[in-house]
Amino acid sequence: MTSRKNIFPFSDEKKFISLAFSFGILALLTALLTLTSPVENNPTATAPDNGTFFVTRIIDGDTIEVNGKYKVRYIGIDAPEMSSPIECYAEAATQENSRLVLGKQIEMQKDVSETDRYGRLLRYVYVDGISINESLVKNGFALATPYPPDVSQQAMLSALEEEAQIHERGLWGSCDLEAKVEGVQDVGECSIKGNISINGEKVYHLPGQRYYTQTQIDESAGEKYFCTEEEAQQSGWRKSKI
């Protein structure tokens, strides 16, 4: 009986095993690189400069979602918060924002910054050439609030706010807004309440302001008391509008 010839002579078999081992290592490295490659898990962080944008959700009076994934914060304005407690005129501002942009195609214009600390795109927003930022301030649904370095349109927004205030439009005629005071105030005894809203906004309340008494501070959640407004502002909090 003729013996079956070995298809892998000893030397060739060693070469085959070595080659197979090398391919196995290469496949393993490729898999590891794929698993550890950075994944875009925050689509808001980058957005095309140009393109078609449709408003798919209204978050509040100054924040929207476009194309189902990008959160956009209007530059240079500040609408009342839909947080707990809901600030005066917050629901009206949110409804007006919805009326102006929900389901509509918009154009977006960047100033200096791409996003804010929460990863939201910072933009001036337009519908058919009309500035939504300006419209909300002009009709008293938002305040003109500068957030440097994005201030290229702040002079116009401030002028529109003054007009709304004179004519008592919107929140200027409906809410007990505390008069704006220049400079830093010291209320003493570390009684300034640094609250964090459900949207992550850091807002501080002074004794005597509308929501001071009902604002509860949860230090385990990062909220805190401050001794001065300067301390609060340096820590990233802004003053409540009412």
Q: What is the pLDDT of residues 89-114, one digit of tens each?
A: 999 999 999 999 999 999 999 999 99
Name the token pair of 162: 């003054």
Name the token pair of 150: 């994005």
- Measure CA of the first residue to CA of the last residue in the chain; give whole Å: 103
User: At 212, is the pLDDT very low, low, confident or very high (cuts 50, 70, 90)?
Assistant: confident
- Residue 62: the pLDDT is 97
Contacts of 96 (CB under 8 A, 6+ apart): 61, 136, 139, 141
* Residues 204/238, Cβ–Cβ less than 8 Å: yes
Residue 20 above 70 pLDDT? no
The overall pTM is greater than 0.75: no
User: At 45, is the pLDDT very low, low, confident or very high (cuts 50, 70, 90)?
Assistant: low
Residues tagged active-site: 73, 81, 120
* 3-class secondary structure, 59: strand
CATH of 43-174, one of 2.40.50.90, 1.10.10.10, 2.60.40.10, 3.40.190.10: 2.40.50.90
Name the token pair of 156: 């116009």
Average pLDDT score over the chain = 81
- Listed by start position, the domains of the chain span 43-174, 192-239
- Residue 190: the pLDDT is 83
